[in-house]
Each structure stands twice: as C-alpha cells, then as structure tokens.
Amino acid sequence: MRIMLQSVAGTVAALALQTGAALSLSKDQISAYDFNKNGLIEKGGEADGLLADPGLITEQKTLVYFGVQEKPAGVSVAAIAAANRAGCNVDRRFRLRSGLSDFSVTAPNLDAGALSGATFSYSHDGLTQQDSWTAKGALFWVLGDPCAGEIEDRSGAYVSRYGFAPFLEFNGSEVANTPMSSRLRAGVLAEFQVVNSALFPIQIFHVAPYAMTDFDGDANIIGLNASWTPYDLGLLLNGRVGDGFWWQFNMVADFRDVRDGGQTGLTTGTDQGWVGANLGATYSFRPKDTNGFYTSLSLSAFYDVLNSDSAEHLTVKAGAFLNTKRTSALEIVHRRGTHYSNLTKEELTTVSLALKF
Amino acid sequence: MPNVRHVTAISARIRKLLNPANPDSVAIDDPVSKYVLGGQAAIDAFVVGVMNRYPPFQRDGLNLAPGDVRKNPKVYHLIAATVRNYEKRGWIVKW
C-alpha cells in the first residue's frame, strides 16, 4: 500500500470559442437601461424598460424577470449579457482526464467523472538516490460541434447528441529506477446519446477503435473498446435529483489483438475479449453550513470470453467538497484487485486534491 | 383560441422538480448541477425523463430534447427552453 498525492485534473490547455449569442442583447445595449450606471438592472424602471426591449432573448428575459424579484440589489448587466443558449458549442477542445472511460465527448464541461483526473507523481529517495514516478491519464481533443441539431420528430427514439474525440491514453511508472510495464494507447472515441428509448430516457454509447504500444514503442496491439451507459433518475440510475443515494452502472466490451506485447504486460500472440460491467453505489449528503460530502463503492467485474479469464476490481472513495459549486474536493480513494484494462494487481490508497476546470 | 400558460407557473413547476422539499430556495441563476447529480447526461435525463413526464407538463404536451437546453445549464436556461417549447407548439406564455 502506498500513499501519493494526485495532481490537478482538468484542462492543460484550452482553445476558447465564442459561445453563440448573436441574437441576444449585448452588454452595451443592456447598459442603456442601467440608468444609474451601477452595473445592475434594478426592479422598477430599469427592469421594466429592459423587459420591453424586443431584442431580449428568452434566456435574458427569464433572468431579468425573475432575477429582479429575487435579488433586491438587482441583476448584473454582465450576467444578463452572458445569458444565451449556446446549446451545443464546445468552449474548450483539449481535455485531460484519468482515462478513456472517464470522459464525455458531448459534455466535457460536466462529465460524470467530474472529480477524476490524470495522475502524475515523482519521488526521490535521498538515502538510496533512487527515483520513482507515475504517469496515468488520457488527453482528448474534441472535434466539431457535438450536437445532432434541431430534432423535429420527437415521437420515438432519436440521437440527440453525438461527438468524436481523438485520444492518447498513457499509463506507466518507474519504481526505484526500475521501469515497470507501460501503455500508450491512441484512437478515436465516438459518442452517441439516444433519447426516449423504450427502456431508458437517456442512453450513452461509446465506440473507440485504438492502437496500443508501450513507452518505448516496442509493442503492437490493436483493439476496439465499446460501452453502454443508461440513465434514469426515477430508478436512481447514474444520477438523481438532490443529495442521497444512487447507482452507477455501465457495460463495457474490449477486444484486443496482441501482436507484440512489448513492455505492456500483455502476452504476445494472444487475442483478448473482455466483457463486463461496472456497478457502483454513491451516497452524497450536505449537512447545514457545509459544501457537502460523498462516499462511493464500485466493483468492476470482467470476463475474457476468448481465454476464460476473469478480473475483478474494487474502488472505495470518500470525499468532501471544498466549494459551493462542487468543482473541487479532498478525497481518499482505496483501490484493490485487478482491473481488466491493465491486468495488474494493485492495493493502493490515494489522498487527492481533485480539481475540475 | 390558443392555450395560455403563465411563466410563473412554468418556473414554479421546474423549481419544485429540482428541489421538492424547498422549491422557493432554488435561485434563478443556480446551476442545475447543484440539484441534479451525475453529470450532463443526468441533466439530459432530468429534461426528457423527469420534466417531460411530470404530469402537469405532460398534460401540456411538453416535449423538450436535450439539445434545447444549453449544456451545464442554470435554472433560467431550463425555464427559457420550456417557454420556447410552449411557444413553438402554439401556446401563449404570459409574463
């Protein structure tokens, strides 16, 4: 068992794109109704005048209409100007996450793995003059504008969002100057969101063909990863309204052709066909005057249908949110068992300061 | 004669769905993720699986799609998308 500090997650670099507000009132146009020039639209003449402006889009109108009733000081001019639809635009293309399974192409700002990130650690033993390091994560580049556009026929099942993202996943370490197994996986992740199916309100499908090697480039592996995640808040399945308990569940298939195992830890000349599920339970609660706490337990159980092998992995997590928006948390994670993705047995406890941005 | 619904009624329904125990505490500019846990897909499931199927909305024929609401929305985005959906179907929304 070892303790390490997990690094900051989130975005390494970003390409900002303007979020479409072409038809909304601009900040200058809204300021024309801020008669006392204090940067706020107040109840009364200012709000009434602005609400009568035909250029106000519905989002802006809603914010002003209810905002001046709820906020005695008034509503910020800047906030009103920023209130637009921007429904499917991507504000940042480049993302860093803990792995392939920890990313949503169509919703990178708010994917379910909100507090998971890449891990980088380095330590130096002054007595033995030995170095150790770990690098684990995945880089994604979101292509295009991941949305299917206006849906006219909403009577049956339809694809509401889709997106594509090339990725580069890395996982390797060196312990006491000794290189351990390493993996470098590149591919394209395709994501499709299906709405109104007979069984679940939302289903997310992932398909990712990939090529894998090791950090030295000696291994030669190709494969296909696919997953299915259903969402139904009524069943507390992969989400819920308000704090409390909910389930996590998804199914995954990963087929690989290991032509040369290199330093990946996989056996040369074998085919693998992993099929399995991730099942978990999370409990979230918020005592008065706190930002909230969470605890979760998840089990992944996989079976290699081509080699009659199996791999089970358990993760137990507990954390405390550090801000009201719940974008940062201090968490402790215990992992035990063998995950199908790396077939390496582990028993690891991690104390993490997790940030999402 | 077109059907009529007041925006305050729409807002009250949505706030009740987001926080059944204390709908008045839901602020107009609160992020929806404060109330719906599980990421963007869970918010999409809230829109199509909870809002569309809420009996008062269902009787009015609400048929929101995830793309009608911007990603990582605030409460006013949900209300505005709902207003737009009513108007698109020929309703008059009073302010």
Looking at the fold, whether A68 and A99 belong to one and the same domain comes out as: no
Distance from C-alpha of A102 to C-alpha of A104, rounded to nearest angstrom:
7
Task: Report the Cα–Cα distance between both ends of chain B, in Å, rounded.
Answer: 18
CB contact, 8 Å: A150 with chain B?
yes
Nearest 5°: the CA angle B24, B26, B31 is 175
Report the gap between the CA of A290 and the closest CA in chain B (Å): 14
Looking at the fold, whether A154 and A292 belong to one and the same domain comes out as: yes
Report which of A268, A273, A240 is spatially closest to residue A256, judged by C-alpha positions: A273
Residues of chain A contacting B19 with CB distance shorter than 8 Å: 242
Judged on CB neighbours under 10 Å (0-12, 13-18, 19+), A170 is: middle
| Cβ atoms B70, B77 nearer than 8 A | yes
Residues of chain A contacting B44 with CB distance shorter than 8 Å: 160-161, 193, 195, 201-202, 231
**Amino acid of residue A289:** D
Provide the pLDDT confidence category of residue A88 given band limits of 50, 70 and 90. low
Q: How many domains does chain A have?
A: 2
CB contact, 8 Å: A65 with chain B?
yes
Radius of gyration of the CA atoms of chain B, in A: 12
Residue A355 has pLDDT above 70, yes or no: no
The pLDDT of residue A79 is 93
| Range scoring the smallest mean pLDDT among A107-111, A122-126, B28-32, B49-53 | A107-111
Domain end: A47, A82, A117, which one? Answer: A82
Looking at the fold, whether A235 and A117 belong to one and the same domain comes out as: yes
Alpha carbon A232 to chain centroid, angstroms: 19
The pLDDT of residue A128 is 83
**Amino acid of residue A144:** G
The pLDDT of residue A148 is 63
Is A20 domain-assigned?
Answer: no
Residue A177 has pLDDT above 90, yes or no: no
Domain borders along chain B are 4-90
**Amino acid of residue B63:** N
CB contact, 8 Å: B23 with chain A?
no
Q: Helix or strand or coil: residue A335?
A: strand
Distance from C-alpha of A332 to C-alpha of A2, rounded to nearest angstrom:
12
Looking at the fold, whether A185 and A69 belong to one and the same domain comes out as: no
A11-40 confidence digits (pLDDT tens)? 332 323 333 334 788 899 999 999 999 999
Residue A353 has pLDDT above 90, yes or no: no
The pLDDT of residue A325 is 67
Distance from C-alpha of B61 to C-alpha of A76, rounded to nearest angstrom:
34
Domain with A51, as residue range(s), is: 27-82
Looking at the fold, whether A149 and A249 belong to one and the same domain comes out as: yes
pLDDT in tens, chain B (95 residues): 789 999 999 999 999 999 999 999 999 999 998 899 888 899 999 999 999 999 999 999 999 998 888 888 999 999 999 999 999 999 999 99
- Count CB neighbours of A188 within 10 A: 15
A86 and B84: CB-CB below 8 Å?
no
Mean pLDDT of all residues belonging to chain A: 84
The pLDDT of residue A278 is 93
The pLDDT of residue A85 is 67
The pLDDT of residue A8 is 38
Helix, strand and coil percent figures for chain A, each rounded to 5: 10, 50, 40
Report which of A177, A222, A206 is spatially closest to residue A112, judged by C-alpha positions: A206
Name which residue leads in pLDDT, B71 or A250.
A250
CB contact, 8 Å: A51 with chain B?
yes
Is A5 domain-assigned?
Answer: no
Q: Which of residues 215-244 of A touch B (CB under 8 A)?
A: 229, 231-234, 238-243
Looking at the fold, whether A64 and A99 belong to one and the same domain comes out as: no
- Region A134-150: mean pLDDT is 80
Looking at the fold, whether A228 and A322 belong to one and the same domain comes out as: yes
| Range scoring the smallest mean pLDDT among A69-73, A338-342, B13-17 | A338-342
Quick one: tokens of A2?
């070892």
Residue A149 has pLDDT above 70, yes or no: no
Residue A158 has pLDDT above 50, yes or no: yes
Q: Could you tell me the CATH number of the domain that includes residue A237?
A: 2.40.160
| Cβ atoms A257, A250 nearer than 8 A | no
Is A302 domain-assigned?
Answer: yes
Highest mean pLDDT among A49-63, A177-191, A325-339 belongs to: A49-63
Q: What percent of chain A has pLDDT over 90?
A: 49
Burial per residue of A325-344, b for 16 or more beta-carbon CB atoms within 10 angstroms, e otherwise: ebbbbebebebeebbbbbbe
Is A327 domain-assigned?
Answer: yes
Looking at the fold, whether A206 and A239 belong to one and the same domain comes out as: yes
- Region A203-209: mean pLDDT is 96
Looking at the fold, whether A65 and A163 belong to one and the same domain comes out as: no
The pLDDT of residue A15 is 28
Quick one: tokens of A147?
């949305």
Provide the pLDDT confidence category of residue A247 given band limits of 50, 70 and 90. very high
Domain end: A36, A58, A82, which one? Answer: A82
The pLDDT of residue A114 is 44
Looking at the fold, whether A208 and A328 belong to one and the same domain comes out as: yes
Is A141 domain-assigned?
Answer: yes
